[in-house]
């Protein structure tokens, strides 16, 4: 069998549609602020991109990400991700930056799937088993 990393084999990056819904073991790469232009809009909106690298299974090495609002509360997706890193519910006064910084480079279980508004992405984070 030919070496799959011989430089002669095409590697196509999976799209969001190619990644089956479900849990994945992944390394948290970090969160970065960005600006997006929503469909049908001429103006940008502030968002935060959360990136993970899948570490096991046939998709190992694939980077997956999800966008959230920059504001973090106990009622939004950003808050659900941070609560997963924290290992419990967010409380008034929690220092989100410190929680996120502590999570970078560590293994997590992430759930990839369809969100309540119809978008596909990371829906939940919990400590790796």
Report the pLDDT value the prediction gives residue 127, as an integer from 0 to 100.
93
- Tokens standing for 30? 């970090």
C-alpha Rg value of the chain to the nearest Å:
16
* pLDDT score of 2: 46
The pLDDT of residue 86 is above 80: yes
Residue 1 has pLDDT above 70, yes or no: no
For the chain, domain boundaries: 19-127
The average pLDDT across 64-70 equals: 94
Confidence of residue 50 (pLDDT cuts 50, 70, 90): very high
Write down the pLDDT at residue 103: 98
Residues paired with 18 in a beta bridge: none
Q: What is the pLDDT of residues 106-126, one digit of tens each?
A: 999 999 998 888 888 999 999
Residue 64: what pLDDT?
94
Query: What's the gap between Cα 30 and its chain centre?
Result: 9
């Amino acid at each position: 069998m030919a070496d799959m990393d011989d430089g002669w084999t095409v590697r196509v990056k999976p799209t969001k549609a190619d990644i089956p819904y479900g849990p994945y073991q992944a390394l948290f790469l970090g969160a970065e602020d960005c600006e997006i232009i929503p469909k049908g809009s001429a103006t940008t909106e502030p968002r935060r991109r959360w990136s993970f690298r899948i570490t096991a299974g046939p998709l190992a090495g694939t980077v997956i990400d999800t966008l959230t609002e920059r504001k973090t509360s106990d009622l939004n997706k950003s808050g659900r991700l941070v609560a997963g890193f924290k290992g419990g519910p967010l409380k008034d006064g929690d220092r989100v930056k410190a929680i996120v910084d502590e999570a970078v480079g560590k293994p997590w279980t992430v759930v990839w799937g369809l969100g309540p508004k119809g978008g596909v992405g990371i829906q939940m984070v919990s400590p790796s088993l």
